[in-house]
Structure 1
């Protein structure tokens, strides 16, 4: 299998984890109260862990390799602020697709970084692909529940839409593979931007003790806190 084909297949499989999460959500209300409550919260907690592991184990360590401390922190914070801006906008227009958009906002920059990782021969490429797939399952689960709560979207149509959106992964990955492999600083910026957005999403959507209704600043505390820790690490190891 050629390397380019490996990139396409890896990101497509990671993207198909989104409709898989939706299929799991179809059966959420079948059974006891455990399936209705504990299972749902367990899936969301699993998603938070997968997201955090992608940030802490792959995206940030690789991102800070090619950027100086201040630009690295700026890109992390810009990522968080960008996701916050999207969150505020979606709340204002009262769309039922905020989780779906958040899912794609994670998936696309991660796929770009994944394609670039394969192109540069980094050993973490398959690990990143696996982590993207793991996080897409609970994100697909959550996005399906949000969309199916309205009368606008039928369950089968949601699953098909998620499957079609999975194609965006290979497109983004191939762009990273072809055009960014010789631009390590751009790849690092994309990774840190995605990391800031993921951190915001974790504390806005998955950490119930932090989130406040119609308030978006508290999750940014997590982004700034992570940036501070990252800055300290980079300064002490440089």
Structure 2
């Protein structure tokens, strides 16, 4: 399903997007050495409920997971990159943490992810990983304009990631979003320009470049959810929900503060 949202729905998407961003950045500010991933999940739950929103993850049960997910936020540490299931783990100095959050408010979903380093120890390699995903996300957003094709976004993202020296996995990528979290079209993190669905004003996309330092192969944890690099290499993931407008892409998942 591909939804084209009307102006009222786009207005509601802005509210949802700001909420997602505010929660993510509040948690980022709170997360320190010793913070437990289950504590982060509780923080997310409290803020979602307080805002009158609904988690997209608690009842999420796709074919590739061992569902339902049962938690409010994805917490991926170090070599974990996607669908990180919160568990009893206390963050250590130098951990590379990715938070991925999707909620529905006012009938419209928004989805975003950030990666950052916990504590004072900051590896140059880790910072480069995060920077590559953020630059790739910016390139994908710049390519998302009316009349462009999904392949144009994929090519823009993939060019940045590959030029930075990282392999690119195409199993998981960006996606359409609207009244539900995951919709068509799929937006791979590399691809051929001029191919795929033509972008139209009112389309919402969640663009999400992610990389693993030295592999494109994923392995799944025994929890049935958490996806890690097959080599144990570090990972990073950046994501925004954007709305296609007459003039380009509007980023919806920016903090309100």
Same fold (TM over 0.5): no
Tell me which protein shows more helix as a share of its residues: 1
- State the TM-score, normalized to the length of structure 1: 0.29
Tell me which protein shows more strand as a share of its residues: 2
